[in-house]
Structure 1
């Protein structure tokens, strides 16, 4: 009976893992590129002019009593 070649089996498992990870990375990359393309389209359309933001009006000052 032939001796099992564990090194070959391990290498095949490693190659399968690497292929699966590469496919996952490619899907993520495509999703990021699609999202970036979706964000770029509205940015090129004319937008309404923004009104200037007014600074907040300061409220009343509150003073705390000093302990005597």
Structure 2
């Protein structure tokens, strides 16, 4: 078995990757909510016209 020489660096890289994934997931969720609310508002405006 080979010894990992840069364990701390590998761990830090994994943490950064995990953080990026969390942020991307949060951003997708916000965008989805915006699209749903924008779509509802547009549909409501069309009915009024």
Alignment of 1:1-68 (within 5 A): 4-44=5-45, 45-46=47-48
Q: How many residues align?
A: 45
TM-score for the superposition, normalised by structure 2: 0.74
Deviations 1:14-60 (A, max 9, x none): 0010111111111111111100101101222328xxxxxxxxxxxxx
Pick the structure with more helix per residue.
Answer: 2
Structure 1: give runs of 5+ residues left out of the alignment. 48-68
The alignment's C-alpha RMSD in Å is: 1.8
Q: Which protein is bigger by CA-based radius of gyration?
A: 1
